[in-house]
Structure 1
Amino acid sequence: PKERFTPLHGTGTAGMNFLRNRLAVLGLVLLATLLLYLLLPAIRQGSMEPSLDVQKMGLPGATPAPAAPNITVRSERLPGDPPLHFRVALPADAGGTRPQGRLQVVLLHGQSFTSKNWLDLGTLTLLATNGYQAVALDLPGFGSSPDSDAIKTDQNRADLLLRFLDSLGLKAPVVVSPSMSGRYSLPFLMLHSSRIKGFVPIAPVDTKSHTAEQYQSIQTPTLIVYGEQDNGLGAQSLKSLRQLPHHSVVQLAGARHACYLDRPKEFHQALLDFLSKLE
């Protein structure tokens, strides 16, 4: 016998209720499926993509940052006339010993700054993390180093840096010299260039005080750094410093006189690149 088909309009009250329940369940299932379909890409995107902060840093979100080595930053004082305060950052292996063979870096500072700026900027820690011994000096009359009547001439200032390097056992460091510190670094460079492995002048003062012949006699590798918007000392010092035979130039885009503060990431990268070429 053939299967009988009963039209819907012929069903009773119980049949209609059953049909409504079936349709309601089907509707809920369809709604849940639709919501899951819409939400699934967002859930997957949120779990797989790096956070906004990580993206801005240019680091892959799935890869944790490598553990930093043990870094020691100390404040010390060198006796003398005048006594000199300085900060030193030392890299260390797991046993707490200093690695051998990497460069030493001496950080000077400008008129409005002290050694603390290199600490706050992260330069001391960055250099130590990369295996360098970094020393930031408070020049006489700045920070915790008192002024002295014994520091009046170019020879006095060169002698002071020589005493500092000798006392700390810094045989041939790289000297980073912004702005006012050129009063110390440039006389030292002219008198003791063999004691400097590399020179990083950052728009230093007093570049006009030295002759073309003096500059051309210096064989020290030099990285000249200045800010694009520094139309004063930056542009002026560049004209003189370009007479150094072994120089390269880095202009930090949009940066002012203290360009390393305006563009710390770019400055740090340029410094590390320069150091790597000296090793």
Structure 2
Amino acid sequence: MAAGEAPVFYREVSAGPRGSGTAGPGRPDVLFLHGQAFTSKTWEALGTLALLAGEGYRAVAIDLPGYGDSPLVETVATVQGRVAFLDHVLQELGMQRPVLVSPSMSGRFVLPFLLVQGDRLAGFVSIAPVGTKDYTAEQYRRVQTPTLILYGDRDTRLGSQALQSLRHLPGHRVAVVPDAGHACYLDKPEDFHRALLGFLRQLK
């Protein structure tokens, strides 16, 4: 089975009075990926999907292959396979220019996609993703996607490592969540949500 054919489990919260899952005018769709110890259920339990839906965003969280309710597919073992997988997910969900939210392990999917198809994204939210050292400063400088570099101040390994690499992205801003570790969204959800919404609202 090709990466593009893999069934993917996803969660989406209806936007209520604003409509069933369609974003408000001028608001990009937001796609949440997850870290190795988590699934799409994390974003639902945290209230992130409902919060964004209430603000008029279409917010969707997926289970990456081999996690949660999504079956494992061999093709995502390669960089090209992971880019093809994300491409397929965006097409299946009908997302034109979404914002990708990428914590930790999901960086293996989002970073290569960002570098080759960043013009298809309205924004990128990096939460201490892995794999940032795999690419050069020059590769990052070519990306024009608006980026939020977000991490907990107690994540001294991946958080600061990601910052060192991703600061070469021309259109980036940085938000540090105080007294939070690697999964800063779990440690300080209110601070995380505030930073996320602040970034989304300033996107054109």
TM over 0.5: yes
1:255 equivalent to 2:161? Answer: no
Tell me which amino acid in the other structure corresponds to 1:228. D
**For 1:106 and 1:94, how far apart are their aligned partners in 2?**
19
Tell me which amino acid in the other structure corresponds to 1:148. V
Deviations 1:148-168 (A, max 9, x none): 112111111011000110111
Q: What SS does the aligned partner of 2:110 have?
A: helix
**Cα 1:93–1:112 shift into 2, 3 Å:** same
**Cα 1:98–1:111 shift into 2, 3 Å:** closer
2:201 alignment partner in structure 1: 276
Deviations 1:46-101 (A, max 9, x none): xxxxxxxxxxxxxxxxxxxxxxxxxxxxxxxxx96421100112314277684642
Deviations 1:97-138 (A, max 9, x none): 846422200000000000000000000000000000001010
2:90 alignment partner in structure 1: 165
**Cα 1:95–1:234 shift into 2, 3 Å:** closer
2:144 alignment partner in structure 1: 219
Confirm or deny: 8 A CA contact 2:49 2:60 kept in the other structure. yes
**For 1:185 and 1:178, how far apart are their aligned partners in 2?**
10
1:265 equivalent to 2:190? Answer: yes
> Which protein shows a greater Rg?
1
Tell me which amino acid in the other structure corresponds to 1:90. S
Unaligned runs of 5+ in 1: 1-78
**1:78-227 superposed matches below 5 A:** 81-93=5-17, 98=22, 100-101=24-25, 102-227=27-152
**Cα 1:190–1:97 shift into 2, 3 Å:** closer
- Higher relative contact order structure (alpha carbons within 8 Å, sequence separation ≥ 6): 2
Q: What SS does the aligned partner of 2:150 have?
A: strand
- Identity %, equivalent residues: 53
**Cα 1:212–1:97 shift into 2, 3 Å:** closer
**For 1:258 and 1:143, how far apart are their aligned partners in 2?**
18
Deviations 1:179-218 (A, max 9, x none): 0000000010011001110000000000011111110000
Q: What SS does the aligned partner of 1:150 have?
A: helix
Confirm or deny: 8 A CA contact 1:173 1:196 kept in the other structure. yes
Worse-superposed segment, 92-101 or 142-151: 92-101
**Cα 1:82–1:96 shift into 2, 3 Å:** closer
**For 2:18 and 2:170, how far apart are their aligned partners in 1?**
41
Tell me which amino acid in the other structure corresponds to 1:169. G
Tell me which amino acid in the other structure corresponds to 1:182. G
TM-score when scaled to structure 1?
Answer: 0.69
**For 1:222 and 1:168, how far apart are their aligned partners in 2?**
22
- The size of the alignment, in residue pairs, is 201
Confirm or deny: 8 A CA contact 2:4 2:85 kept in the other structure. no
**For 1:97 and 1:186, how far apart are their aligned partners in 2?**
27
